[in-house]
Amino acid sequence: MHNRHMSRYFFVFVFPTLLAFLLSFVIPFILGIVLSFTDFTSIIDAKWVGISNYIEAFSNKDFLNALRFTVKIAIVTVITVNFFAMCLALLLTRKIRGTNVFRAIFFMPNLIGGIVLGYIWQLIINGVLYKFGVTLTYKPEYGFWGLVILMNWQMIGYMMVIYIAAIQSIPNTLIEAAKIDGASPFQILTRIKLPIIMPSITICLFLTMANSFKNFDSNLALTAGAPSRKTAMLALDIYNTFYNTLNGEGVGQAKAVVFFIIVAVIAFLQLKLTRRKEVDNV
């Protein structure tokens, strides 16, 4: 009796969310995959062309270049963002004056949109490079490090907040016990703190990687791919294919599907790997 009652309401409660999920995610997602096999201008007049879009995507050297560039950016930013965020979190969980103010300050860049950050950093970096008679577009390396700096600036604060929350939830008794047992601060960090906050590290690694892979707005505002698309990341390359190439819609869509698969696979592997290192909470 009780059970039947529940199942009747089950649908009522799930339906709104399910509908939203279907409309905003499942249907566009399936449509997107279908469209990648077609030739289309607007989605109401698509024509089936098989896998030719995929062949064209993979024979496109801009795409492969963007893929390489994105992977490089992702590797560097995942390491630097998490390293600096962790350092800040450890610093700001000590009992020093004004930690709340510092936390707020470090978090703030995260509230600024990527386009704005992109233009701000373009001005700053160009301002410095002017002194040497060059600009951000002079070499792809400049754009690369510019993007790394920008993304660090943007994401460190956010990751820091997650780490701080995790560190604060470590029971004091554990640390005290370790101290009594004669553990050094470094041992406390590596043997106690890090294993306990491993779930947060998983989340942070995952978030930084996802964000760096999908970065579009700051890339567009900072360099827009200059010089010669050597600093275009995947999302920007897909955008360029989709909108600026004659009959490029299908190819752009195919690239987006490939992009999805790559990101999904990497994210899944990474989750598996870091999960293994997690310890059950005490």
Partner 1 sequence: MYLMKKGRGFVAFLLVLVMVCGVLSACTSEEAENNQQPSQSNNNEKVDEIYFLNFKPEIADVYNKIAADYEAETGIKVKVVTAASGTYEQTLKSEIAKSEPPTIFQINGPIGYQTWKEYCLDLKDTKLYSFLSDPNLAITSNGGVYGIPYVVEGYGIIYNNAIMEKYFALSNRATDFKSMDEINNFEKLKALVEDMQAHKDELGIEGVFASTSLAPGEAWRWETHLANIPFYYEFKDKQNYDNPILAGLASNEIAFKYSENYKKIFDLYINNSCTEKAMLGTKTVNDSMAEFALGKVAMVQNGNWAWAQIKGVEGNVVDEKDIKFLPIYIDVEGEESQGLCIGTENYLAINSKVSEAKQKASIEFIEWLFSSEKGKDYVVNELGFIAPFNTFEEDEKPKDPLAREVLNWMEKDGVSSVPWVFAVFPSQNFKNTFADALLEYVQGNKSWDEVTKTVIESWKVEKAKGE
Residue 35 contacts partner 1 per CB under 8 A? yes
Antiparallel, parallel or unpaired: β 38-39 and 47-48? antiparallel
Peptide bond between residue 227 and the one before it cis (omega within 30 degrees of 0): yes
- What radius of gyration, in Å, describes the C-alpha atoms of the chain? 23
Task: Decide whether 106 or 259 has the Cβ nearer to partner 1.
Answer: 259
Which range touches partner 1 (CB under 8 A), out of 6-14, 88-96, 158-166, 240-248?
240-248
Residue 32 contacts partner 1 per CB under 8 A? yes
Distance between CA atoms of 215 and 56, rounded to whole angstroms? 23
Q: Give exposure, 49-76, as e/b (b: 16+ Cβ within 10 Å).
A: eeeebbebbeebebbebbbebbbebbeb
Q: How many chain residues interact with partner 1 (CB under 8 A)?
A: 57
Selected from 9, 45, 97, 282, the binder of partner 1 by CB under 8 A is: 45
Residue 225 contacts partner 1 per CB under 8 A? yes
Task: Decide whether 190 or 228 has the Cβ nearer to partner 1.
Answer: 228
Tokens representing residue 181 in the block: 């047992």
CB of 70 to partner 1, least distance (A): 12
Distance between CA atoms of 81 and 159, rounded to whole angstroms? 8
CB of 107 to partner 1, least distance (A): 22
Residue 194 contacts partner 1 per CB under 8 A? no
Are residues 82 and 159 in contact, defined by beta-carbon separation less than 8 angstroms?
A: yes
CB of 231 to partner 1, least distance (A): 11
Tokens representing residue 237 in the block: 């390359």
Question: Residues for the chain: how many in total?
Answer: 282
3-state helix, strand, coil in the chain (%, to 5): 75, 0, 20
CB of 256 to partner 1, least distance (A): 6
Selected from 7, 17, 244, 281, the binder of partner 1 by CB under 8 A is: 244
Within 108-167, the residues that bind partner 1 by CB under 8 A are 126, 130, 133-139
Give contact residues for partner 1 (rule: CB under 8 A): 23-25, 27-29, 31-33, 35, 41-45, 126, 130, 133-139, 206, 210, 214, 223-229, 235, 238, 240, 242-248, 252-253, 256-257, 259-260, 263-264, 267-268, 271-272, 275
